[in-house]
């Protein structure tokens, strides 16, 4: 396993050290099934909001529940390794639930970042983060980039 891919228990130990040093923890999550330019720019912007970027990714079972049959394309291990290879991603963790609420409650990030298709008041975990003085950041998507759009383009070419 990549040194940046951590189970929640290991991640919590590391985060305690960063919090003692007053590092700002940014958390975001998603499926990140087929990484594309839109994901990369989104994650770069999320990292710019703080010191440490943690990316929670949906497990394979969770993606299947959310996205349906035929998804994910890439396994959770592959998706985690690819994300962990990005220099601006500090840690990756995998969660089994359909939402990252439990993970957010455990990580307690200073900043919860989510893509522009969400309204700040609707973001899962937003109330939790705001309850202890953290903030929610909505990051605009790069237009024209989505995994669904990419998959549809591939299907048309086959």
59-96 exposure pattern, b = at least 16 Cβ within 10 A, e = fewer? bbebbeeebeeebbbbebeebbbbbbebeebbbbbbbe
pLDDT digit string (tens) for the chain, length 158 residues: 579 999 999 999 999 999 999 999 999 999 999 999 999 999 999 999 999 999 999 999 999 999 888 899 999 999 999 999 999 999 999 999 999 999 999 999 999 999 887 788 889 999 999 999 999 999 987 777 777 778 878 888 88
- Give me the pLDDT at residue 1, please: 53
- Give me the pLDDT at residue 42, please: 96
- Give me the pLDDT at residue 149, please: 78
Task: List the structure tokens of 153.
Answer: 């383009």
Question: Taking the domains of the chain in order of start, what are their residue ranges?
Answer: 8-157
- Give me the pLDDT at residue 119, please: 81
What are the φ/ψ torsions at residue 120 (nearest 5 degrees)? -50, -40
- Give me the pLDDT at residue 155, please: 80
Distance between CA atoms of residues 92 and 29, nearest Å: 9
- Give me the pLDDT at residue 46, please: 98
14-29 exposure pattern, b = at least 16 Cβ within 10 A, e = fewer? ebeebeeeeeebbbbb
| CATH dotted code for 8-157 | 3.40.50.620
Indicate the helix (H) or strand (E) that contains 107.
Answer: helix 101-107
66, 31 Cβ separation under 8 angstroms:
yes
- Give me the pLDDT at residue 2, please: 77
């Amino acid at each position: 396993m990549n040194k940046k891919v951590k189970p929640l228990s290991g991640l919590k130990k590391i985060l305690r050290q960063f919090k003692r040093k007053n590092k700002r923890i940014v958390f975001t999550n998603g499926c990140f099934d087929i990484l594309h330019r839109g994901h990369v720019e989104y994650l770069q912007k999320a990292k710019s909001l703080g010191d440490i970027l943690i990316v929670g990714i949906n497990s394979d079972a969770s993606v299947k529940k959310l996205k349906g049959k035929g998804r994910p394309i890439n396994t959770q291990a592959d998706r985690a390794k690819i994300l962990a290879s990005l220099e601006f991603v500090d840690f990756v963790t995998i969660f089994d639930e359909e939402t990252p609420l439990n993970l957010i409650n455990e990580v307690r990030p200073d900043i919860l970042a989510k893509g522009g298709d969400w309204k700040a008041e609707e973001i899962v975990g937003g109330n939790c983060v705001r309850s202890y003085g953290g903030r929610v950041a909505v990051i605009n998507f790069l237009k024209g980039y989505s995994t669904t759009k990419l998959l549809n383009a591939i299907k048309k070419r086959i």
